[in-house]
Amino acid sequence: MHEAIYEKLKEVARTSCLITYDELNRELKLGLDFEKREDRGKVGELLGEISKHEVEAGRPMLQAMVVRKERDGTYGDPGEGFYELARDLGVFHGDNKYIFWVSELNAVHNYWSSH
C-alpha cells in the first residue's frame, strides 16, 4: 500500500474535503500523466489497494474523496473504477451511483473526523 497516499487521504478526510486526481498527483509528486491510460490505471490500483484495506478493516472507502475535476473547474465524482471496486468489495449493491457515493463520502468524513 502507498503510505503517502494513505496518509494524505486520511488528512483530507479529517477536514471533510475532496481532492481531485490531479491535486493528489501534484501534491504528492507522483509523476503521473493522466493523459496516459496506464497512469490512470496506476492511480486506480493504488487507490484500490487503500480501499480494500479500509473495507477489510470495517471502514468506508477512503477513495470516495478522490474525484474528477469537471471542465468548469468544479468537483465531479470518482472515476468508474471506484464504483466497480465497490461492487467487487460488496459494499455497493444498488443502481444509483450518486446516492452510493454521497453515502460513502459521508461515512468517510464521519469516521475520520473523530480518528
| Per-residue model confidence (pLDDT) at position 8 | 98
Considering only CA atoms, which of 47, 58, 107, 59 is closest in space to residue 83? 47
pLDDT digits (tens, 9 = 90+) for 76-104: 999 999 999 999 999 999 999 999 999 99
Can you give the pTM of this predicted structure? 0.93
| Per-residue model confidence (pLDDT) at position 35 | 86
| Per-residue model confidence (pLDDT) at position 63 | 97
Distance CA 98, CA 96 (A): 6
| Per-residue model confidence (pLDDT) at position 72 | 96
| Per-residue model confidence (pLDDT) at position 34 | 86
| Per-residue model confidence (pLDDT) at position 69 | 93
Helix, strand or coil, per DSSP, at residue 19: strand
| Per-residue model confidence (pLDDT) at position 98 | 96
| Per-residue model confidence (pLDDT) at position 9 | 98
Distance CA 81, CA 60 (A): 16
Distance CA 21, CA 18 (A): 10
Q: Which residues contact 27 (CB under 8 A, 6 or more apart)?
A: 8, 19
Intervals of the chain under pLDDT 70: none
